[in-house]
Amino acid sequence: MSDEPLASLDPRFRRQLEKARHALASGEADIAVEITAPILRRHPGCVEARRLHWQALGERESGGGKSFLAGLSSRPWRRLGPGPLRRDPRKLLRQAEECIASQPRAPQGHRMLAAAAEALGLNHTALFALEILGDLRPDDRKALHRRASLHLSLQQAEAAIEVAEAALRQFPGGREFEDVLQAASVAVSLGEGRRSGGGQPGERYPAAAGASPEDRGPSASGEEAKTDSPVERLRRRIAEDPGDPEPYEQLAEALAARGKYGEARESLALVRESTGGAADPSLRALELTYRRRHLDRLVADRRAEMEAHPGDPVRREAWEKQVAERRKILLKESGHYLQAHPHDLAARAGYGHLLLEDGRFDEAIEQFQRALHHPPVRVDSRHGLGRAYAGKGFHDLAAEQLRAAAAESPAPTEQRKAILYDLADVLEAMGRPEEAIGPLKEIHAADIGYREVARRVEAYYRTGPER
């Protein structure tokens, strides 16, 4: 089987889909569902028909309409392992569609649809199912990885980078997302869908040239040393036309994808020098990103060494020194960046977290308050404000900000769990254990393994409120 564009369908089906669109626009979602369902049974790879069907199901559910499969709403859709998928993916596809028709917002149906569609070679259909699943369960790590990987396999490198970077903000250090990001960045650097500028400034940036050998990252492998490697091709382009800034930026992306952050920053420094772009915020932001990623890698390396030798004071001290060095460098470079680009509110939120880690609560509060005006980082800034007020002992102000942050982050994400955990700490510090147990119970219901939540909830029920 293969994906089927709308234009490949029989004209009769295309006319029926047009009728379904008119029915949906007229508020007749039931009719739209009845038209699209049999078309999908005949053409399961038509994403346009499936999207229309999904919209109709959503409209019917929100409008209180009754599903033609409503009798199945209590059916216990079990998690299907790889066996049924290998034996009969078509059957699994049908079961997925029944589950979605009965319970449109149940994540399991969309997981089943994605798995079955991919097994049948309907990659665009699988991607559509994963996108819906991402809206329903934004913290589903496996689904995010599969979605990013599918974008990459469909030569949608830009989209793969976007999904992988968003996932890394939820799951810092996630190796599977870093691998996708590296492969997609290389594809972009080779012109297979060049990535445009944008994103949060804290996610794009460099510093000075003169990187140390350690900062340059791993040495070139034998494969990369070949003259036909992506890096070598870009270097040849630079040698042929040193005045063209584009290959310098592509080279920086390719080097960073290989963990060679020092060489990547050198390449960007050459762009700024050759084009007079010293004040270009996108280049400066990208320099800072490369610096941060390099420092994060060093911290992760020291931490791994410490965890591999528990109880070793030398390795713990090395990790603590690396953490302090990271904070010192990023505080300095982020401060310089904001002096040059004071209106970058997303960067202010990142700077606020660095100040918070350094115990500079008043300065952190100022940065978070200014960043609140930027919607993409408002929840993160409120969370930071709550933590900063808590650090100063202003627990009533901290609780106010944390409650507001939780209200603006309704989805069960890692961010919401962190907000609720901090809110519980603040309420306990205020002597309100009966209120503190509420946020902890919400986390417990979603993720029993989160931090100390299981122990704290159990202690509450066994011995009463825990301080």
Q: Each residue of 91-107: pLDDT tens digit?
A: 888 888 888 888 888 88
152 with 187: CB under 8 angstroms? Answer: yes
> Is residue 244 in a domain?
no
**pLDDT band at residue 363, thresholds of 50, 70 and 90?**
very high
**Which tens digit of pLDDT belongs to each residue from 297-319?**
888 888 888 888 888 899 999 99
pLDDT at 200: 35
Tokens 């990001």, located at residue: 181
**pLDDT band at residue 399, thresholds of 50, 70 and 90?**
very high
Nearest-angstrom CA–CA distance, 419 and 350: 17
Per the structure, the count of domains in the chain is 2
Q: Is the predicted pLDDT of residue 85 greater than 60, yes or no?
A: no
Among the listed residues 178, 174, 130, 180, the one whose alpha carbon sits nearest the alpha carbon of residue 157: 180
pLDDT at 226: 42
Q: What share of the chain is helix, strand, coil (3-state, %, to 5)?
A: 70, 0, 30
DSSP string, 41-87: HH-TT-HHHHHHHHHHHHHHHHTTPPPTTGGGTT---PPP-HHHHHH
At 449, which CATH number?
1.25.40.10
Q: Look at residues 107, 137, 167 and tell me which one is the last residue of a structural domain.
A: 137
**Which tens digit of pLDDT belongs to each residue from 222-279?**
444 444 566 777 777 777 776 666 777 777 777 776 777 777 777 777 766 655 555 5
pLDDT at 177: 86
The pLDDT > 90 percentage for the chain reads: 24
Per DSSP, 464 falls in state S
pLDDT at 213: 42
For 101, the token pair is 């028709």
Tokens 């089987």, located at residue: 1
Q: Is the predicted pLDDT of residue 392 greater than 80, yes or no?
A: yes
> Is residue 456 in a domain?
yes
> Is residue 420 in a domain?
yes
Among the listed residues 100, 169, 155, the one whose alpha carbon sits nearest the alpha carbon of residue 377: 169
- pTM beyond 0.95: the answer is no
**Which tens digit of pLDDT belongs to each residue from 160-187?**
888 888 888 888 777 888 888 878 877 7
Nearest 10 degrees: CA dihedral of 243, 245, 250, 255? 70
Among the listed residues 289, 153, 379, the one whose alpha carbon sits nearest the alpha carbon of residue 145: 153
**Which tens digit of pLDDT belongs to each residue from 27-73?**
788 888 889 988 888 888 898 888 889 888 887 776 544 433 333 33
> Is residue 301 in a domain?
no
Span of 32-36, 194-198, 447-451 with lowest mean pLDDT: 194-198
For 84, the token pair is 């049924």
Q: Look at residues 137, 171, 191 and tell me which one is the last residue of a structural domain.
A: 137
Q: Is the predicted pLDDT of residue 212 greater than 60, yes or no?
A: no
pLDDT at 239: 75
Q: What is the sign, positive or negative, of the torsion defined by CA atoms of 297, 302, 304, 307?
A: negative
| Rg (the chain; Cα; Å) | 26
Of 333 and 277, the one with more pLDDT: 333
> Is residue 40 in a domain?
yes
pLDDT at 375: 86
Task: Give the range of the structural domain holding residue 428, as residue numbers without chain letter.
Answer: 376-467
Nearest-angstrom CA–CA distance, 249 and 269: 10
> Is residue 257 in a domain?
no
Tokens 């070793």, located at residue: 312
> Is residue 294 in a domain?
no
Q: Look at residues 110, 137, 164 and tell me which one is the last residue of a structural domain.
A: 137
Nearest-angstrom CA–CA distance, 361 and 356: 6
Output the CA–CA distances (angstroms, integers) from residue 217 to 221, 226, 247, 318, 325, in the order listed: 12, 18, 20, 20, 18
> Is residue 174 in a domain?
no
Task: Name, in order, each residue with C-beta under 8 angstroms of 28's C-beta and a sequence gap of 6 or more.
Answer: none
Nearest-angstrom CA–CA distance, 301 and 316: 12
Output the CA–CA distances (angstroms, integers) from residue 449 to 213, 245, 362, 417, in the order listed: 40, 49, 33, 11
Helices 378-392, 345-357: inter-axial angle, 10-degree rounding: 30
Nearest 10 degrees: CA dihedral of 330, 335, 340, 345? 90
